[in-house]
Structure 1
Amino acid sequence: MSPKPTVAVLDYGSGNVHSAVRALARAGAEVTLTQDTDTILNARGLVVPGVGAFAAVMDALKAIDAPRWIGRRIAGSRPVLGICVGHQILFERGVEHGIAAEGMGEWPGEVTALPSDVVVPHMGWNTIKAPEGTQLFKGLEEERFYFVHSYAVQSWDFDQTIESMHPPKVTWSHHGADFIAAVENGPLAATQFHPEKSGDAGMALLQNWIETL
């Protein structure tokens, strides 16, 4: 039997990380909750969770130099999975209550409030529209996933004019407006929803990701 792939879950003070740790272990990974640099850089996969405000999560990540570690993994084609606000901070910036904060800028886009004419937070199960060739949603295109958020990226403007580049695969959902539910971009992937709270569908998605490690 081959050894389980190692997955580091970034420990930077974000709440509710233990449910993600348990879910990844059930999905077949050897999981460590850590902020140790060597473990983060050398694990087969890194998961960046996140709950709360965009700016607060970025501040907490910067406090332990996590953006540099995440960037080094991406540059070395080592898989990273962001979840919820861990998905949002990969975009250029977030705007909450009129205050803008810079994100990591791996993808273009701004995290903004969902439309005011719908109930927020968007809390509960929702469908997704996955692109062709998706790895994360392989066999899960008709499933529902569990969301808890009031902000999202609601447009995508990625420069796809470079012929040698494989454009990211973008998955959408809808709550008052279309918003980005997930992105797959080489070693970097992220979901706005919580796979660890999404029952069998979320477990299967984590297994799909672990298969890429």
Structure 2
Amino acid sequence: MQTITIIDYNMGNLHSVERAVAHAAGTNANVVISADPDVIVKADRVVFPGQGAARDCMRELETRGMAEVVREVIRTKPFLGICMGMQVLMQHSEENGGIECLGLYEGNVRYFGTVHQEIGVRLKIPQMGWNQIWQQVEHPLWKGIADGSRFYFVHSYYVEPVTPDLIAGATEYGISYASALAKDNVFAIQAHPEKSADDGLKLLENFVNWQV
């Protein structure tokens, strides 16, 4: 039986993610939450959840010696980043006056408020609630999920990758922004699949069965 490990770095709604992944996996996987680097490295699949501020996320990762663990597993295993677990894969975030992130992909994390002001749009920040994701590429994690399906979002910052080829999904909130990224064995999504009803569970099921 395969093991799916959810990274515990003291941030994020870990248990709701665990329940949703376990529900999606059924009897096909053993789902665990762990902060032990050995357990994470030995997992068959890894989920990197998160919510809160980029500064706090990076501090916890560095303090717990988890930054290098994330960099290692993202090179070798099916990897799912969720919300902040997507944002910190980039080089830099505008949050908290500017934060250096993991630097796994070229690009920045930008504040909706700044961009909305630049283009003269007034929308509530954070974006909180249901919104559509428009699929930009065919991908195994989109299997059985209709283009334009609605997922649940809670965020004030969004990812702006340098390379458009990374973008697997786009969402409109004053601007069109990258709400999902994909490359090789990595898939990351700004929305919370664990809170996104049937389509969210389907995405998690697809991750469980993803043959990279």
Contact 2:6 2:31 in 1 (8 A): yes
**Matched residue of 1:51: which SS?**
coil
Q: Which is helix-richer, 1 or 2?
A: 2
In the TM superposition, residue 168 of structure 1 has moved relative to its aligned partner by 3.3
Q: What is the aligned partner in structure 2 of residue 127 from structure 1? A: 132
Q: Considering only aligned residues, what root-mean-square deviation do their CA atoms show, in Å?
A: 1.5
8 A Cα contact 1:134 1:169, kept in partner: no
Indicate the percent of aligned positions where both proteins have the same amino acid.
35
TM-score under structure 1 length normalisation: 0.88
Equivalent residue, structure 1, for 2:172: 174
> CA offsets, 1:48-82, max 9 Å, x none?
1111111111111111111111111123x212211
Q: Which amino acid aligns with 2:109?
A: V
Aligned to 1:143: 149
**Residue equivalent to 1:162:** none
Q: Distance in 1 between matches of 2:151 and 2:204?
A: 12
Within 5 Å, give how 1:73-92 maps onto structure 2. 73-75=73-75, 77-92=76-91
Q: d(CA) in 2 for partners of 1:179 and 1:169?
A: 9
Structure 2 contact 73–79 (Cα < 8 Å) conserved? yes
Aligned match of 1:106: 104
* 5+ residue gaps, structure 1: 160-166
Preserved contact between residue 90 and residue 161 of structure 2 (Cα < 8 Å) = no
Q: How many residues align?
A: 200
CA distance in 2, matches of 1:193, 1:58: 20
Whole-Å Cα distance in 2 between the matches of residues 171 and 15 of structure 1?
22
- Paired with 1:18 and 1:92, the residues of 2 have a C-alpha distance of 28
- Per-residue deviation, residues 92-138 of structure 1 (Å, max 9, x unmatched): 111125x1111111112111111252111101111111123212212
Q: Quick check: 1:27–1:207 contact (8 Å CA) kept in 2?
A: yes
CA contact (8 A) 2:141 2:210 kept: no
C-alpha separation between the residues in 2 aligned to 1:177 and 1:128?
13
In structure 1, give the amino acid aligned to 2:24.
A
- Equivalent position SS for 1:91: coil
Preserved contact between residue 45 and residue 78 of structure 2 (Cα < 8 Å): yes
How big is each residue's C-alpha offset from its partner over 1:10-48, in whole Å with a ceiling of 9 and x where there is no partner?
111113211000000001131111111211001111111
Query: Structure 2, unaligned stretches of length 5 or more?
Result: none
Match of 1:13 among 10, 24, 42: 10
Between the aligned partners of 1:63 and 1:31, the Cα distance in structure 2 is 25
| Separation (CA, whole Å) in 2 of partners of 1:121 and 1:92 | 22
SS of the residue 1:136 aligns to: helix
- Select between 18-27 and 124-133 the one with higher mean Cα deviation: 124-133
Whether contact under 8 Å (2:140, 2:206) holds in the other structure is: yes
* Alignment TM-score, normalising by the size of structure 2: 0.89
Q: Distance in 2 between matches of 1:132 and 1:110?
A: 21
Determine the C-alpha separation between the residues in 2 that align with 1:169 and 1:122. Answer: 20
| 1:205 corresponding residue in structure 2 | 203
